[in-house]
Structure formats: C-alpha cells, structure tokens
Structure 1
C-alpha cells in the first residue's frame, strides 16, 4: 500500500536527517489524514490506494501551479523548493498514462459511448476518470478529448 510506503520513507528520511524530505513526507501524511477524516464523515467507502493517489495528485498539481507562478514572478528559490517537494510527491504516484495511451483510451470510450460532438465531452471525461482515474492526467486528457470531439 502507498500509505505504508510513505510511512517507511518518512522514518528513513528522519533517520538520515533529511529535513526537507521529512517535512514534505509529513505534509503528505497530514493531507492523507485530513482526507481520511473527510471520508469518514461523508460515509463513502473509497479504496485506500485510490484515496492516497487522489491526495498525491492534488498535491502534485498544486506544486506544478506554484512552480509556474514562482518562475513567472522571478522567485526561483521558491520554485526550487516546490520542485523538490514535487519530486518527493511523484515518487509515490503511479506512472501516469502517456499521451498515446490516453488517446487510445479516448478512442475506445468514444466507440463505446457513441460520442461524436463537444456535447458528449462530459460523458467521455466521466468514463475516462472512472476507468483510468488514478493514472490519468486530467489536463492532458481534457485537451485530447476536445481535439477528438471537435
């Protein structure tokens, strides 16, 4: 389980006195714990690795956006810090689908659902997320679905 890998990595980083890595791993654990509490109150059951993966994907997306903003704002030292955090987060994310794999999945879903116009984009994106949510880059998929349906 990904959660166990994160705990083991935290202990290893603490023993090795890697302050930045330990801090990032603790942030990940805190976000996962927050999400656990949210899910407990919502009453929905989500498979543990799926929950952890969704938390990691959200954190990675936030880091990418921050890096972009810091670079355009001329704050390279902050961008470097975010890049280091992103590297730690991505260690625990499953390998994302490539552009070719995403295109193939989109074509398969178009064939299944009979989607042919932009009106069907929501249906195609929903099916994509249901089948490949943990390994799907949403931003890439959205662009490819738009191109495939236009």
Structure 2
C-alpha cells in the first residue's frame, strides 16, 4: 500500500472518529506530498521522494517545537508534539544510536577517512544509507566523534 493510500485510509478513519488533530496533520502531510509531486512534475512520487517530504515535515516540526519551548509557549509546543506523533507513524523505524554508530564506522572505513577534513566525504556517503531512518544531527555528531 502506497503512502498516499495509507494517508487516505487514515484520513477517512480520523473523520469517522472525529479526531480533528490527526485529520489536520494527515491533510498537511498529504498536501506536502502533492505539492512535491507538482513541483517535480510527476503524477506519483517514488518512495525515496515521499521519505524526503516526510523527513522535511518532521524536521520543520522539531524546529518549531524547539522555538516554542525556548519562547515558553508550552501550549503551542504541546500541539507540535501531538503533530509529531502523528507524522512519525508514517516514518520508517528509526535506527538506534548504536546502529547508526556501526554504520558510521563502516562508512568511515569504506571511504578511507582519517580526519575531520574528510567529514564531507563521509557524510555524503552515509546519508543515503540512513535517509529517513536517522536524524542528520545525530549522524553528524557521531561522524565528528569517530573522526576525532
């Protein structure tokens, strides 16, 4: 079942259950996917493109959450946390820090990196492997740690 099919089914269910918050998030995600398809001039997105859009949605919400928390707006922060839980349902299972660390070490060995000067080369090789499955900030932190 494609992501759009899942979103449509979940949207119908949210309407039946009168879950306004969930319905709103599903509509936002669906709109983001459709806008991306229009931007790329396609009828349907590939799984990789869908994952990119979902990752962008999660990142935007995490950034907003941080800003609202810093500003002391817990009411808005709670709303964003709820949205994040709904968006996370559609994301692939996230890798643990240990799994990401193992992938980082493996990639460093593959590209022959030895210093922080090779960071870009390592990040370029590792990000396609963990796309959607790990937070970029965590990957960056682990690469820096292993290269130091």
TM-score (norm 2): 0.92
State yes or no: 1:107 paired with 2:140.
no
Q: How many residues are treated as equivalent by the alignment? A: 146
- For residues 12 and 86 of structure 1, do their structure 2 counterparts lie closer, same or farther at Cα, with a shift above 3 Å needed? same
- Equivalent in 107, 128, 138 of residue 130 of structure 1: 128
Matched, 1:53 2:51: yes
- Counterpart CA distance in 2 for 1:100 and 1:109 is 14
The Cα of 1:57 is off from its aligned counterpart by 1.2
Q: Distance in 1 between matches of 2:33 and 2:73?
A: 29
Deviations 1:83-139 (A, max 9, x none): 111110001100111111111001111111110111111111111112221312111
Paired residue for 1:6?
7
Secondary structure (helix, strand or coil) at the match of 1:78 reads helix
Alignment of 1:84-123 (within 5 A): 84-123=82-121
Alignment RMSD (CA, Å): 1.6
Question: Matched residues in 2 for 1:50 and 1:73: separation?
Answer: 35
Q: CA deviation at 1:47?
A: 6.2
- The equivalent residue for 1:64 is 62
CA offset at residue 17 of structure 1?
1.5
Unaligned stretches of 5+ in structure 1? none
Report the equivalent of 1:24. Answer: 25
Q: Is the 8 A contact 1:56 1:93 kept in 2?
A: yes
Q: Does the CA-based 8 Å contact 1:94-1:134 persist in structure 2? A: yes
Give ranges in structure 2 of 5+ residues lacking alignment. Answer: none
User: Hey, which bits of structure 1, 4+ residues long, moved more than 3 A?
Assistant: none
Q: Secondary structure at the match of 1:135?
A: coil
